[in-house]
Chains A and B, each alone.
Chain A
Amino acid sequence: MAMKFEKTGEGTYMLDVCGYVCPHPQIYCKKSLEKMGEGDVVEVILDNPSSVETISQMCDQVGHDILERKTEGGKTYLKIKKG
């Protein structure tokens, strides 16, 4: 298990924090968004329910848009556009 932060294309990124528990997913998500440019999109994959709640509120407060959100097999996929 290791955290993965990859550039998947021009302005698109992928952050995989599956297996991690609080507070790692929200810290890595915040740091990823800080490293990205405005308008860039990151797909965050995580399996820690309380981190999903925190990340959603963080995006709402800061002004990032959650473009897509789905949960499958205990994993949540969040597509976030940096605002």
Chain B
Amino acid sequence: MLFYFKFMVARAAMMPQKIKKRVKEGKIVEERKNQIWAFALTGLLILISLMYYKANVFYMYSIVYIWFGFAYGMMLQYGRFCFASASRDLFAAGVPRMAVGIMVALVFFSLIQATLKATDMSTFKPAPFGIHTMISGLIFGVGMVIAGGCASGSLYKIGEGNMTSFLAAFFGLSIGQAIFVDVKWFNFLIPQKWIDSAMAKGLPSEKVTSSFDYYLAGYVWDQPSIQLSKTKFISEALPGASKYFVGDALLNAIIPAIILLIVIYAVWNRKGFIKKRAKQKGGQTGFGDELAGIWNMITASKRTTIMGVIIGITAGLHIFVIKGMQLKFGITNFGQLLTQMGFTSEVSIRGTVFDPGYWYITTQEAQLGAWILQKMGWDMMDNVFFGVNNGIPGLLRNPALWLSIGIIFGAMVMAKLSNEFKFKMPKGELIAWGLIGGLLMGIGSRPSLGCNIGAFFIRAAGGDPSGWLYGIGMVGGAFIGVKFFNWWSERKMAKEMEAF
């Protein structure tokens, strides 16, 4: 008791000194400024939400996307959650932190997705399955390593003030992607049977013109979509809701995630851990030590693992809320509400706009690029991607785009609160890496109709094996990207060390 009293007296005497020192160093002023910024940014989003609500109750839809984006942004920044880092840091530095975080998120997300499907509250749709998914993932994987962040990672890094990520997201994912789906540059590569198949779909001929149109309507749409719970074998063997938990969650997400965790442990983590353990125990180690090693790997970066759990749950909740909004308004796509509000020129010929109903990144960024190009006089609705499927909503009427903006805001608020925000303009080689990487990510997210989130995370957790095809491609691409950067940095290090 006496010791505690003495400790408290000593601590009280120390505090003012500490505070004085921090004030002198300008840290308190900087922290206060950052806090004011964080409150101002959050206040701005609240104000925007209120204005939307006042303008039309239909914009509740956008408000939901804004705040889920905001939550993702905060969590991504706090957990340093980037899919690029998952495979890249394994290959480049032997660090499994992010790969573990993603597997944890996947497990939790898959269970919530299964619950939502069992209660008919899911918006999940499987994607066409084929080798195109893996090739697309490979291109995306190289791009994300070169750009320094995946599609969602680039957005949260913009929130940290990283303008290299802005180059990747704006010029690559937005403008680059929009141009990619509209040009005829690759028509000479398109097989005649794709052209015939596309033209046989009954689409207006003026909407089927670009190389991507023939690929999408003539090849991708002809591929089968697979969702394990809907396959003949599983739906017959497991009637009722169990097919979602066993087929989609357990078989397609949880078991592969556990296998991957074991492989990562065995290849990158085991040697160091068992060596330490043997030293501590002074001899032999057993199976219990192996389990302790896996648990140690999972909990090594608590902030990433905890965020993995919360991101998984939030992504599920996002689907639930969007489905609830759709039921409330009696719609299946936000384009129906835009049409009711009179914005008919912004929706596709099917009356739809891009409205994924869950966490998604790249298509709304392509829409932003298309909107800008359209303002510059480029007709962006004369293709299947925008004209038939996704539309190009006005800048302030695009709910999915608000998800991306929300991520930037959320990450910025979190970075400000933890004094990690730093405005960094790219210079020299980083400009090239941002542009090249962003462009590769843009191109790599189109053929698969999604990126690391839409094509991998959502699908793998939803019972669609094509998510894993994309994941394999993405990891392969990351390996190539790391090989390239290893070679590049070795050259630079050798130059620096000439002076030693």
Residue positions of A touching B, CB distance < 8 A: 1-7, 19-24, 26-28, 30-32, 35, 47-50, 53-55, 57-58, 60-63, 71-75
Contacts and interface: CB of A to CB of B under 8 A. Distances in A.
Contacts of A6: 496, 499
Interface in B275-327: 300-301, 303-304
A73 to B, nearest CB: 7
Contacts of B191: none
Name the residue in B88, B95, B161 with the highest tally of chain A Cβ atoms < 10 Å from its Cβ: B95
Contact of B489 (A27, A47, A58, A75): A27
A74 to B, nearest CB: 3
A47 B493 contact: no
B272 interface: yes
B430 A20 contact: yes
B131 to A, nearest CB: 28
Given A21-B165, A21-B430, A63 B97 contact: no
A5 B497 contact: yes
30 contacts: A2-B428, A7-B499, A21-B424, A22-B149, A23-B88, A23-B89, A23-B93, A24-B148, A24-B485, A26-B92, A26-B93, A27-B485, A27-B486, A28-B489, A28-B493, A30-B92, A31-B489, A31-B490, A49-B160, A49-B420, A50-B85, A53-B97, A53-B303, A55-B93, A57-B300, A58-B93, A63-B272, A72-B25, A74-B161, A74-B422
Which 3 residue pairs are nearest across A and B when measured between Cβ atoms? Answer: A74-B422, A50-B80, A21-B148
A20 B425 CA distance: 10
Contacts of A47: 422, 424
B443 interface: no
Interface of B: 25, 27, 30, 77, 80, 82, 84-85, 88-89, 92-95, 97, 145, 148-149, 157, 160-162, 164-165, 269, 272, 300-301, 303-304, 415, 419-422, 424, 427-428, 430, 482, 485-486, 489-490, 492-493, 496-497, 499-500
B421 A61 contact: no
Given A30-B92, A58-B93, A61-B269, A1 B422 contact: no
